[in-house]
Structure 1
Amino acid sequence: MTMPSAAPWFYRVLLTLIVPLALLRLWWRGRKQPGYRQHIAERFGFINVPAGGPIIWLHAVSVGETRAAEPLVHALLEHYPSHRVLLTHMTPTGRATSTALYRDPRVLIGYVPYDLTGAVDRFLAHVQPRLGLLMETEIWPNLILRSRAHQMPVLLINARLSARSARRYARFDRLIRPVLSALTAVGAQTAEDAERLSALGATSVSVTGNLKFDVRIDPTLQALGQEWRAQLQAHQAHRPIWLAASTREGEEALILAAHRILCAAPPEPHPLLVLVPRHPQRFNDAANLVMHEGFRLTRRSEVFPNAETDVWLGDSMGEMVAYYSMVDVAVIGGSLLPFGGQNLIEAAACGIPLIVGPHTYNFSAAALAAEQSGAATRVEAVTPETLATAVNTLLSNQLLRHEAQAAAARFVHAETGATDKLLALIAQYHRP
């Protein structure tokens, strides 16, 4: 079969027609996040790359993928000392995360171009990467096919594909199969992911594990979280603290209702809820909801919580490790309602007992392994009452918390090693 050099005409026409809507969306989202209105030219392939050594290009769409890629980025810089790494993103929060994580001048940061033939060609011509690495589920037809036409190896790494997504992709088999076939190789997180990707047309698929298990926990952020806890305990000793991490729209109402139940039950002192919405543009909405429900609110950006605080809103970026490090129990957002869940590995690496809801299909393998190991408790039917019961069970039982903490450490340790496997895979296709 002859490999196409670009996506089918109907895809290219459709994308061209969508561009004005995409620009309007950037402007609209820029009301709350000014970063969406910056570096617009990069989204059309106009990226400035200073002269220097050869480039390995790694695309991580947003915050979660960017954090997952961190151990691999450091390993690439170590193994290819004459190279630079270009990290591209789709979102300002992903870009801001890279900016905060890396001080090495060999790390370059930008936006990935829209999947327009001209924009992708312009990007590849400016950057001239020796190798392209796409994180997780970034399957863009023109990006992959034009990379192949430019004779650049492109690998899909840390790849995951849920059964739900595989069924969706299968409906567009004529579009997706040539694209997946054009990938030089795939490093899948699990055997199930590898099987689904192979069935859709990917070749040279191997199981390399999940990079998120190789996460580096920032000791400075851990120390900050422990300092916060010490400050709280100095004013009100033994006050239990629980965290709702990376919550999505609609979940805060459930969490606040559960918190009301916890606060109504003896004994004193009542627990403190640390609430951290997933997206920064929702910080104010979450704050308004907390106050509307009659809770006493303080915000990370304004003041430290005191004995009167019911809810501390984590309206900061890049401090999730600190929040995990100050609490007794963490509820993983995105799993209470059908959003597919969030990465729970970083929380487990911080040694925190976890609670997840039924909706973890984006991280199904990790969530199941955490549950089976005892690191996580799953609430199947989420109501304020069932959530409050799960949280209270862990808050009120120190022995159970310690067992869950030990299980979390074993869970993370058992799954490490993806970075080394990916380096070996990369070495097969990139020889400096």
Structure 2
Amino acid sequence: MRALYTGLLYLALPLVFLYFLWRGLREPGYLKGWGERLGLGRRPPPGGIWLHAASVGEVAAAVPLLRALRERDPDLPLVVTTFTPTGRDRARSALGGTAHVVYLPLDLPGAVRRFLQHAQPRLAILLEAELWPNLLHGCRAAGVPVLLANARLSEAAAARYRRGVQGRLIGDALRGIDCIAAVSDEDAERFTALGVPAERVAVTGNLKFDLELPAGVEERGAALRRDWGAAERPVWIAASTHAGEEEIVLSAFAELVGRHPDLLLVLVPRHPQRFDGVAELCRRSGFACARRSRDEPVTAGTQILLGDTLGELVLFYATADLALVGGSLVPGIGGHNLLEPAALRLPVVTGEHLGAWETVADWLREAGALCRVADAAALASAVDECLEDHHGRKMAGLGAARVVEDHGGALARTLRLVPGLLTAA
């Protein structure tokens, strides 16, 4: 079955590189590192721990784990792979020179073999649901133990994996995993139902609850807000927005400024290739917009600050009174990290399309810290209610932070699994 999968992947390879070329026209990072995707390019330091985090969200969850591993053994080489340029940039920014960061090789036997021969890892840690058949087979053949950390498996995915060709392929891939650190009891049960021995599955919780806020970020956020002349203005952040969501946000904002004329919207699109287009959309909509990337001043007449920079999202959260987390107002994306604003004691608003964030959203809603909306009118109403109720907003923020604190500990539980796997290597 794996041979058939590999053959089809080789046939699709021209389309894969055309995809990278197409993405590269909008996001230049996709035009770099093609050799790395074939297991070539810069050779990683051998004999350490290799961690794969596909994109920005997974990298954010991985950084505290990587730092803890570095503290345990400062001489142990760390290799980090990502799939997306934004993930790679985030990893390099967060880890500096303490880890070798490259793209994940494509799931081709030759590319995987070259990468493993160069890195010679003592342990592979894959985050969340990275079940690449040739990658896992290559690790098994090379004697590299594999830990699937922060592992999630939805009921829909589990049902697919129980059927036909895909089920046989994934079943073989799962045999290449030595330990699964599942996010929840339900995830653990789904993995064991697919044939993973129960002794290989541990429930550790969600690493994303053990996020590390940058030192002094709240103080820097307050200072930035003062620089904007917004210490006394209400500030609403709409973060990680996608195509189709900015229109909803701006429609809600147009309604809100009638009741809150001094409201400042901090709008942070998810992808840098969309920054210029979103700036133009704001201006076409009739709003006075300043761009962070150009150091344009925020004056009393500025209505929107466009957060068109990379690596500053948490700082922008620290300037705000409440947050909309994007990727949730339109279908097909599945939401983004709800925990960063929650950790900063912000009430959270989301859309209806939350994907893997459904459980976290339920916890936040039960704590009175989250509101879900279906359209621009509901969004405007939710933001208005939050802005009008200062005490309620404060209590919601405290509830949000309490959820983050109560569900922490996954980092320590995951770290306890590492020594045994390294010993087995």
TM-score per shorter chain, which class?
A: over 0.9
- Calculate percent identity across the aligned residue pairs: 43
| C-alpha distance in structure 2 between counterparts of 1:88 and 1:201, whole Å | 28
| C-alpha distance in structure 2 between counterparts of 1:51 and 1:403, whole Å | 48
Letter in 2 for 1:208: T
| C-alpha distance in structure 2 between counterparts of 1:318 and 1:45, whole Å | 28
RMSD over equivalenced CA pairs, Å: 1.7
**Alignment check: 8 A CA contact 1:158 1:211 kept:** yes
| C-alpha distance in structure 2 between counterparts of 1:388 and 1:224, whole Å | 28
- Equivalent position of 1:289 in the other structure: 281
Letter in 2 for 1:318: G
Q: How does 1:24-423 map to 2 (within 5 A)?
A: 24-49=18-43, 54-105=47-98, 107-171=99-163, 172-203=166-197, 204-232=200-228, 234=229, 238-265=232-259, 267-269=260-262, 271-302=263-294, 303-338=296-331, 339-379=333-373, 382-423=374-415
**Alignment check: 8 A CA contact 1:62 1:90 kept:** yes
Letter in 1 for 2:116: L
Structure 1 pair 117–288 and aligned structure 2 pair: CA distance change class (3 A): same
| C-alpha distance in structure 2 between counterparts of 1:297 and 1:50, whole Å | 44
Shift of 1:364: 2.0
Letter in 2 for 1:8: R
| C-alpha distance in structure 1 between counterparts of 2:114 and 2:9, whole Å | 17
Shift of 1:104: 4.3
**Alignment check: 8 A CA contact 1:334 1:340 kept:** yes
- Equivalent position of 1:3 in the other structure: none
- Structure 2 gaps of 5+ residues are none
Shift of 1:33: 2.2
Structure 1 pair 307–162 and aligned structure 2 pair: CA distance change class (3 A): farther
Letter in 1 for 2:110: G
Structure 1 pair 165–314 and aligned structure 2 pair: CA distance change class (3 A): farther
Letter in 2 for 1:10: L
Q: TM-score, normalised by structure 2?
A: 0.94
Shift of 1:182: 2.1
| C-alpha distance in structure 2 between counterparts of 1:168 and 1:276, whole Å | 35
Q: TM-score, normalised by structure 1?
A: 0.93
| C-alpha distance in structure 1 between counterparts of 2:400 and 2:361, whole Å | 12
Structure 1 pair 310–416 and aligned structure 2 pair: CA distance change class (3 A): same
| C-alpha distance in structure 2 between counterparts of 1:289 and 1:85, whole Å | 42
Structure 1 pair 15–351 and aligned structure 2 pair: CA distance change class (3 A): same
Q: What CA deviation, in whole Å up to 9, does each residue of 1:264-304 have, x standing for no partner?
A: 22x542x1111111111121222222222222211111113
**Alignment check: 8 A CA contact 1:375 1:405 kept:** yes
**Alignment check: 8 A CA contact 2:347 2:369 kept:** yes
- Number of matched pairs: 418
